[in-house]
């Protein structure tokens, strides 16, 4: 049975983007990026909402851009190799391989997917993750805290959900990023 993992990069005050929608402060350096690559290797399927997919589809061609460091091209290969499901009513066409569109998030469909998949799944983007958390589908959280306070914007976690967590791992990076790995316990 596969796990569903909510993976996110957030500011210290809990936002994935500031009030202006800017998230340029969230870019990982080489050390963090290589660590993320290690976490992504066992992932078989990415679950996205439209907006997060539109951000992540960059990785479809990132590996072909001249001069990219090896850790960037490695992530691009990992991303392209995984299946991608985009939940959207407005997106008509995808621009990446191994990608399909579902008109709405279906908790029972995700449960079935978790039951049959051998490789783990991730849910990305706070709005879609909120649906998965509320439905009790998330098994783990991989949270990267960036060394910045943005003062408002798009929160990484919903206000109206209670989830008990067990800390499984933590790591500090030279850049000031901190990684927190939690298992959902209730």
The CA radius of gyration of the chain, in Å to the nearest whole number, is 16
pLDDT at residue 81, as a whole number: 97
Name the token pair of 30: 């080489």
pLDDT tens for each residue of the chain, 186 residues long: 999 999 999 999 999 999 999 999 999 999 999 999 999 999 999 999 999 999 999 999 998 999 999 999 999 999 999 999 999 999 999 999 999 999 999 999 999 999 999 999 999 999 999 999 999 999 999 999 999 999 999 999 999 999 999 999 999 999 999 999 999 999
| Residues pairing with 102 in the sheet | 87
How many angstroms separate the first and last alpha carbons of the chain?
A: 18
| Cα 120–chain centre separation | 12
CB within 8 Å of 7: residues ≥ 6 apart: 39, 122, 123, 124, 141, 142
Cβ atoms of 34 and 48 closer than 8 Å: no
pLDDT at residue 147, as a whole number: 98
**Homologous superfamily of 4-144+158-184:** Dihydrofolate Reductase, subunit A (3.40.430.10)
Dihedral pair phi/psi, residue 56, rounded to 5°:
-75, -20
Query: pTM of the entire structure?
Result: 0.96
Cβ atoms of 140 and 183 closer than 8 Å: yes
Dihedral pair phi/psi, residue 30, rounded to 5°:
-60, -45
Dihedral pair phi/psi, residue 144, rounded to 5°:
-105, 120
| Residues pairing with 146 in the sheet | 11
């Amino acid at each position: 049975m596969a796990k569903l993992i909510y993976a996110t990069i957030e500011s210290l005050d809990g936002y994935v983007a500031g009030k202006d929608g800017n998230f340029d402060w969230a870019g990982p350096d080489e050390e963090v990026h290589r660590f993320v690559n290690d976490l992504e290797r066992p992932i078989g399927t990415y679950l996205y909402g439209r907006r997060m997919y539109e951000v992540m589809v960059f990785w479809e061609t990132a590996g072909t851009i001249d001069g990219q460091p090896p850790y960037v091209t490695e992530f691009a290969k990992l991303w392209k190799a995984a299946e991608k499901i985009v939940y959207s009513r407005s997106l008509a066409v995808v621009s990446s391989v191994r990608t399909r569109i579902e008109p709405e998030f279906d908790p029972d469909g995700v449960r079935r997917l978790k039951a049959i998949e051998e490789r783990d799944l991730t849910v990305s983007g706070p709005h879609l993750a909120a649906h998965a958390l509320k439905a009790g589908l998330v098994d783990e959280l991989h949270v990267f805290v960036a060394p910045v306070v943005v003062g408002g914007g798009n929160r990484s976690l919903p206000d109206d959900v209670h989830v008990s967590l067990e800390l499984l791992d933590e790591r500090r990076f030279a850049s000031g990023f901190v990684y927190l790995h939690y298992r959902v316990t209730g």
